[in-house]
Structure 1
Amino acid sequence: MAKWIKKSATTMVVVVGLGLLAACGSDKNNESGASAQAASSASSSANAQASTGAGTTADAQTRTVRDEFGEVTVPAHPKRIAAIYLEDYLKALGIAPVVQWYNPNWGKQDYLNLDVPLFDNSGSIEALLAQSPDLIILDGAIDRAAYDQYSKVAPTFRLPESVLQDSGQILKTIADVIGIPEKAESVAAAYEAKVADAKAKLAQAVGKETVAVIRVNVGDRTIALFGAKNRYAGSILFDDLGLTPHPMVEKMTEFQEILSEEAFSMLDADHIIVIPSNGDWKTAENQDAFTLLDSPMWKSVPAFKNGHVYKVDRSYWQSGAITANGMKIDDLLKLMVK
């Protein structure tokens, strides 16, 4: 990467600290371990679902599916699902999760308007254990060690790396795992129609004008530039909607990079989307952080000169899920299509 950019930690979803899990979940571990052992000895049917490698066991109460780390036995018809940082997809499929992901530093995904207990992933596991999920679905930030700890609470499916950059594939995979693949088809069809309509309108309104997404970090007062392959913003903007990334954005190989001050004026994009690192733009902290962009360097770039700097909601712009992406499309049409 060029010298005008400094590397930063990139994964938005913090790997959950579950040090207490082995002690708190020992009884559940014994129960789920026995269940898994019994299920693994049952024969699988020949009709496996290709997306998950699923097979229904002889008693039809469980299925064997393949996730990122191998085969796992899951309920054939789960009733209490915890989808950590994937609640968006459950809601799109018409299912209420038993808990909602929460971090005290970032809050939760308020746009989902869920009325369920919060699971504080910064260390506490009380909420997750108390809700007794019969299936846990995990996002890509979870490594094998954390996965093994989750598995002591309930059967756990970790999304394969191969689907993480595509919200449609994530939706399909989750629907397959919980046994409602037909619902994913109808949700995906409506979403694809929305994308196609927006892409045509944006092409006419914006053409080849360049676009960049930045985040103003309140804590350390820095500015992060999102790369073209950023799964929360880049994929929907550039891959799905066909917008043109600024050259700095297009060349990035990282999820995000911290911009040095001398790089500000080099980001001469035609349109700049700005996200706060926490909360919304109404807070005094975020209003103060936005003053980082109130400098002669920034004022010289086309986006600022032409009034094409857009403040958007962090809650769904830092999510790559299907409901969130639909809300981003609504924002882009409102902001860019006159």
Structure 2
Amino acid sequence: MNNATTTVKLLQVDLTDPVTHMDVTKLRVGFVTERDPVEHMKKNSGAERLRLEFRQNCKLFLLKMVSKLFEKAPLKYPLVRNVSVLDPRVLLKSKEVSTRKLTTVLRRLVETGRIEDKCCDEIIREFGHFHDHSLMSASDSFRDFNPQSGRLDEFYQEHLSNKAECRHLWEVVKLVLVLSHGQASVERGFSVNKDVMVENLKEHSLIAQRVIKDRVHSVGGLLNIAYTKELLLSAASARQTYHMYLDDQRRLKQDEEKTQKRKGMMEEITQIKANKKRMEEYIRVLMKSADHNADKAESQGQLSFISKSNGLRRAAKEKERHLETLERQLTDKLKELKDTP
């Protein structure tokens, strides 16, 4: 583990190798969990074995959890690891490292058919020019970039999009940002949904607000919107449309409740029928056993078989009363199902 100094080396660690595992006796499981076994060991001589088994199970759980994290980690993809070249702070540290990361990104984009390989040399040349001139002159803004509040699309829109000598590089940056947007969070500086999201906002409202925001942005601001007749009519009837939507949702909810109610009643009826069938079979077996014991009593002349036969018949009578109760329940449920709209 001491050699896992980079992301790639960390992903290459063999989790099944016992050499990389911590001693199970040194595994920290929490103060309360540590205290309870100690109290138990004072009362039970075999508690030490149970304590070791518990720690071993904790270790197995951690191994499986970390293995799953490694399996699902996006960092195992070279494109994801090297896209960090777009982090302004990483870009500022080393031109050589940034160029190497960009080369890997370009290689992956060529392999997937996103760009043509003949453009790569020009993109790398533009990147070198951008790093030597534009980046150095605005190094403070690159160094102070905060991914918690800043957005990479806006950042590079300001520093890169207006430079004609870097137009091929700008196309690649836009492509990578678009590819990253679907899996990125606001904290990573890719998401633009942060501007329209509020608490308890439903999916339809979020989509509608996002469409409106994109439209306003595409025309260059609120002052450039063309207020057409269709737009004014839509705004005037918005409240009526909203109430119609609420009525539709209310009807859908009522229909869903009725469907769930009928489904629950059908399940109850099925269960009652199954219980009734089992009860009938049980009564049949009891009566058959009672008749068999009566025949043995008659053929062998032993009164004990008569006693067994009578006991079985009494049990069958009791089950028949239970069966009558089930039949009444079944009749009531069928009537209730018929009356349910």
Assess same fold via TM > 0.5: no
Flag the structure with higher helix content: 2
TM-score, normalised with respect to structure 2:
0.22
State which structure, 1 or 2, has the greater radius of gyration over its C-alpha atoms: 2
Flag the structure with higher strand content: 1
TM-score, normalised with respect to structure 1:
0.22
The answer to which structure, 1 or 2, has the higher relative contact order (CA under 8 A, 6+ apart) is 1
